[in-house]
Amino acid sequence: MRDRASLTAEFVCLMRALGGEDPFADALLSPAFRALGVAWRAGLTTGLPVDTVTLGIGPLVGARHRFIDRALLAALAGGAGQVVLLGAGLDARPWRLGAALRGARVFVVDHPATARLRAARTRTLPATGAVRVDVDFAGEDFGDALLDAGYLPEITSFFVWEGVSMYLPARVAGACLDRIATLSAPGSGLALDLWRPDAGSPAVRVVEGLSRRALALSGEPVRFGLAPAEVAPFLAAHGFDAAAVESPQGVPWPGLTFASARRRGLSAGA
């Protein structure tokens, strides 16, 4: 990833702002993206629904966020005491889920360029106590950075890895999962999404191709993906037992998978 704040982080935040389920999303947007959101809501842009113009990405981003919310809230209810947002972007969970997260130690990890952007955007929001960790997954060990920042590997944790794996080289994505596993006490878990383009009909592939081209132009090309059937074996190979593996319904993205998983019982030799 180039040393430039993530545009995709801004884009998915805009999708959440337009989706109306995240009351903090607007506050995290740049003035330009916020204005775009206002114009879109007022019907002043293309005149077409945002879902049409974005090729269904809006509902997909909302469904992904809700899936991960459910897994995270279940983990917190089950006693997780630490939450790590890996590649946090402009994720507003520390505010939106503030009540549920109270008492948990929260770490917000991202590439330094995006972490700086996040810090600037959230300056006027109430402090949450979340600890900022700046790290490039591709060249640095985020585990060491987390430990330096006070992460306690003996505490049951939950890792959120939302909208990130597809931008990493396959080797880095696997290494990140291995590192999450070594940082995870028994009972810990994670939620993530994976995207394997070219999985659908020819019409769908056109949509996916357009999207991939736009991502490449934004400087965040898609580098890694797995077909839905490959997700559980991939998680297992890296020390996690899949708890839920879902394909989002009602959006034209058959190659996308949402997954939650638990660290495999350490006594089993994992």
Ligand X SMILES: C[S@@+](CC[C@H](N)C(=O)[O-])C[C@H]1O[C@@H](n2cnc3c(N)ncnc32)[C@H](O)[C@@H]1O
Residue 114 or 157 having the CB closest to ligand X: 114
Torsion of CA 60, 137, 72, 158, to 10 degrees: 160
Residue 13 or 18 having the CB closest to ligand X: 13
- Token digits of residue 79: 């006693």
The alpha-helical segments, DSSP class H, found in 149-201 are 170-183
Asked if 57 interacts with ligand X (CB under 6 A), we say no
Q: In sequence order, what are the beta bridge partners of 189? A: 158, 262
Decide: helix, strand or coil at residue 215.
helix
Biggest CA pair distance of the chain: 59
Pick the closest to residue 184 from 157, 162, 149 (CA basis).
157
Size of the site for ligand X (CB under 6 A): 21
Distance CA 148, CA 173 (A): 22
Q: Residue number with the shortest CB distance to ligand X?
A: 89
Q: Is 47 left (phi over 0), alpha (psi -120 to 50) or beta?
A: left
Which residues ranging from 159 to 178 are in contact with ligand X (CB under 6 A)? 162-164, 167
Asked if 255 interacts with ligand X (CB under 6 A), we say no
Q: Report in angstroms how near the CB of residue 253 gets to ligand X at its nearest.
A: 14
Distance CA 167, CA 187 (A): 28
Residue 68 or 232 having the CB closest to ligand X: 68
Asked if 137 interacts with ligand X (CB under 6 A), we say yes
Asked if 87 interacts with ligand X (CB under 6 A), we say yes
Stretch that binds ligand X, among 31-39, 48-56, 86-94, 226-234 (CB under 6 A): 86-94
Q: CA Rg, the chain, in Å? A: 18
Asked if 91 interacts with ligand X (CB under 6 A), we say yes
Stretch that binds ligand X, among 7-15, 184-192, 222-230, 232-240 (CB under 6 A): 7-15
Q: Report in angstroms how near the CB of residue 171 gets to ligand X at its nearest.
A: 12
Asked if 69 interacts with ligand X (CB under 6 A), we say no
- Token digits of residue 213: 């081209």
Give the interface with ligand X as residue ranges (CB under 6 A).
Answer: 1, 6, 8-9, 12-13, 87-91, 110-111, 114, 136-138, 162-164, 167
